[in-house]
Homo-oligomer: A and B are copies of this chain.
Amino acid sequence: MRKPGKAPTMSDVARVTGVSSMTVSRAFKDDASVSKETRDRIRKAAEKLGYVIDSTASGLSSRRTGFVAVVIPSINNANFADTLRGLTEGLRSTNLQLLLGYTDYDVKEEERLVELFLRRRPEAVIVTGGYHTARCRKFLKNAGVPVAEMWDLPSKPIDHVVGFSNAAAAELMVHHFHDQGFRKIGFIGGDTSRDTRGKDRRAGFVAALEKLGLDTTRIIAWGTPPITMREGASAMRQMLEQWPDTEAVMCVSDLSAFGAMTECQRAGLSVPGDIAIGGFGSYDLSELAIPDITTIDVGARDIGRHVADWLRTVLTDSPGQAVDSVSIEPKLLARGSTLRSLQTSD
């Protein structure tokens, strides 16, 4: 820790280099008109002084903070991590910085975060999902900056959208089960009051079963989202107790699917011989597990990339030409956990 006095300012750098502070300011921007020698002199003096430009002050003055507020449900989730990766990569060429927050799947916490973040005057706000508290919606609408909702296709978008239909994705899995000859199909997910994307998946699951004329009662809701592997295992235990003749189970995520599958295996059931299991999210885990787990790839990284593309257009390149919202097409990855034809003899 540097003790003596306060941090050096631009005028300090200006003084030692014999220029005005405005020239120092210009020397720290890319497009400004400063001669190369002057710029190098200033930069060198700044580095020697330990000067670091103060974004707080420059943001106030220029009215450009360089912040993009991003709110995701969880920081420990391969899918959202992929989206963030796409975002980060797409914004690397800009000088925008992510102001990142996670809600733990709580819209009230989202509201709190959005308010906190808006105080920082971000140049754009990116939220996950299309469900928000009324107050949060108001904040986002009044923010005066571009807003993107991702990972969902809200019926009443606030502004820009990059997402997919969770219900349609769930339908993919149901149809796959049906194609494989399964008829007694269950669903494992968390408490739906929080995870709205999980709720949409479950709704899509039920709707698809109804269209096929199948039983829609085999549903276990267990645990607070994000539902863990352990909770997936507990849920499967309940499922087997309540409906022992279940032929296939769709899980709200790959993690719970893995937990459910290991629970079956511990109970002496063969997957998919005795019961088929599908997941959601295309985690590494679902590819490595034995058997590998059928899942749905939602193109998480693409979501981030699309959001970044839109951001660059709106914030820098050409603010005029609006980019349309993007609808991602989820893909089913059929694997061993639901394919009896692939099953190796044990």
Contacts and interface: CB of A to CB of B under 8 A. Distances in A.
Interface of A: 1-3, 6-7, 50, 52-57, 59-60, 65, 74-78, 81-82, 84, 97-101, 115-116, 118-121, 138-139, 141-147, 159, 228-230, 233, 255, 258-259, 262, 265-266, 284-285, 287-290
For A116, A119, A121, A159, the residue with the greatest tally of chain B CB atoms inside 10 Å of its CB is A119
Contacts of A97: 116
Contacts of A57: 60
B65 A75 contact: no
Contact of A76 (B3, B81, B159, B289): B81
Contact of A285 (B101, B147, B285): B285
A141 B52 CA distance: 13
Given A76-B77, A121-B56, A288 B229 contact: yes
Given A54-B119, A60-B60, A77-B76, A143 B2 contact: yes
A258 B288 contact: yes
B142 A55 contact: no
Contact of A266 (B52, B82, B116, B290): B290
Copies in the complex: 2
Given A228-B284, A233-B288, A259-B288, 7 more contacts: A1-B141, A1-B146, A55-B120, A56-B56, A56-B121, A98-B101, A229-B284
Contacts of A266: 290
Which 8 residue pairs spanning A and B have beta carbons closest together? A76-B81, A55-B119, A50-B142, A229-B288, A2-B144, A229-B284, A100-B100, A52-B118
Contacts of A59: 56
A95 to B, nearest CB: 9
16 contacts: A1-B141, A1-B143, A1-B147, A6-B144, A52-B139, A56-B56, A56-B59, A56-B65, A75-B81, A75-B84, A228-B284, A229-B284, A229-B285, A255-B284, A258-B285, A262-B289
A224 B100 CA distance: 25
Contacts of A144: 1-3, 6-7
A290 B81 CA distance: 27
A87 to B, nearest CB: 11
A287 B230 contact: yes
B55 A2 contact: no
A145 B1 contact: yes
A275 B242 CA distance: 38
Nearest to A146: B1
Contacts of A99: 99
A277 to B, nearest CB: 14
Contacts of A1: 141, 143-147, 159
A165 B83 CA distance: 33
Contacts of A76: 75-78, 81-82
A118 B8 CA distance: 13
